[in-house]
Amino acid sequence: MLALGVNVDHVATLRQARGTAYPSPLEAARLAAKGGAEGITIHLREDRRHIQDTDVWEMRREQELPLNLEMGIAPDIVELAFEVIPDEVCLVPEKREELTTEGGLDVCGQMGKLEPLCKRFHDAGIKVSLFIDPDPDQVRAAAELEVPLIELHTGTFCEEEGDARLECLRQLTEGAVMAHQFGIQVNAGHGLNLDNLADLAPCPYLHTLNIGHSIVARSVFVGMEEAVAEMLRAMQACRIS
Ligand code: PXP
């Protein structure tokens, strides 16, 4: 069955907005686990706008779900990842001025940098996922790097409507089929919510959806455990498989 990874960055956004000690991303992760999440994602951004280094350590030590550290490839973040040893890293492009991650990683254009880095992660026992657009060239490049996972960027799919969304779905399907043929696990995420989830249902071979903002937003009203359970029920109802 399709798994749900919960991104708790925006619990930290709320905390950082006032410089308080609460709300705790760790507590959110524990409640997400109770609601049925199978993994926790946090993005340590270069500008530390939400998740802080101490959160990464706490998340590693004090909660039990597999930890996916989303990250750009800035040297200090890379070195922290090698100290913390998350279960997975998901490499993403990062621009300081962006509101959230915009677009997938250009794997084709950075093979020289990514090849030794992926090998280093592999040797340290950390699974590497590459967050990419559903572009056949990017999928082929990910296969060349022999990564075990990719995460297909669903941001454009979520923003579009009607025929344009259907075209995004076609591209996601093509990317998922190709990655599956290469033996790569296919995850997907960005911008998914209770309203757009069902439109993703026809996309094959999805293993995990990583969802953050919409779950944290919903948790304000129904609590984190219920917001996660509700998303899982919606995933089951539209039988994404
Ligand atoms: N996957 C990746 C690689 C992301 O960058 C993000 C946003 O941090 C997500 C999933 C979750 O996206 P959202 O918060 O829109 O659900």
pLDDT tens digits, 86-133 = 999 999 998 767 777 778 999 999 999 999 999 999 999 999 999 999
Q: Where are the domains of the chain?
A: 3-237
pTM of the model: 0.96
Q: Name the CATH superfamily housing domain 3-237.
A: Aldolase class I (3.20.20.70)
Rounded to whole angstroms, the Cα distance separating 19 from 138 reads 39
- Distance (angstroms) between ligand 1 centre and the Cα of 211 equals 6
- Distance (angstroms) between ligand 1 centre and the Cα of 208 equals 12
**Token couple for 19:** 């410089």
Residue minimizing CA distance to atom 15 of ligand 1: 191
User: Does the structure show a pLDDT above 50 at 241?
Assistant: no
In testing the pocket of ligand 1, which one of 70, 90, 133, 218 has its CB within 8 Å of the most ligand atoms?
70
Q: What is the pLDDT of residues 39-56, one digit of tens each?
A: 999 999 999 999 999 999
- Distance (angstroms) between ligand 1 centre and the Cα of 156 equals 12
Mean pLDDT of 226-234: 98
| 3-state SS class at 62 | helix
Rg from Cα positions in the chain: 17
Mean pLDDT of 207-219: 98
Q: What is the pLDDT of residues 60-74, one digit of tens each?
A: 999 999 999 999 999
- Reply yes or no on whether 122 is catalytic: no
Burial 157-187 (b: 16+ CB within 10 A, else e): bbebeeeebeebbebbbebbebbbebebbbb
The ligand 1 atom at the shortest distance from the C-alpha of residue 193 is 16
The number of angstroms, rounded, from the C-alpha of 141 to the middle of its chain's C-alpha atoms is 19
- Residue 193 dihedral angles phi and psi, to the nearest 5°: -150, 180
With a 6 A CB cut-off, is 213 part of the ligand 1 pocket? yes
Instruction: Single out the residue of 137, 141, 136, 154 nearest to residue 128, CA to CA.
Output: 141
With a 6 A CB cut-off, is 101 part of the ligand 1 pocket? yes
pLDDT recorded at residue 240? 56
Q: What is the pLDDT of residues 161-199, one digit of tens each?
A: 999 999 999 999 999 999 999 999 999 999 999 999 999
What are the angstrom distances between the C-alpha of 185 and each of 28, 59, 179? 26, 24, 7
Cα atoms found within 13 Å of the Cα of residue 36, Cβ hemisphere only: 18
- Distance (angstroms) between ligand 1 centre and the Cα of 123 equals 26
Report whether 192 contacts 209 (CB < 8 A): yes
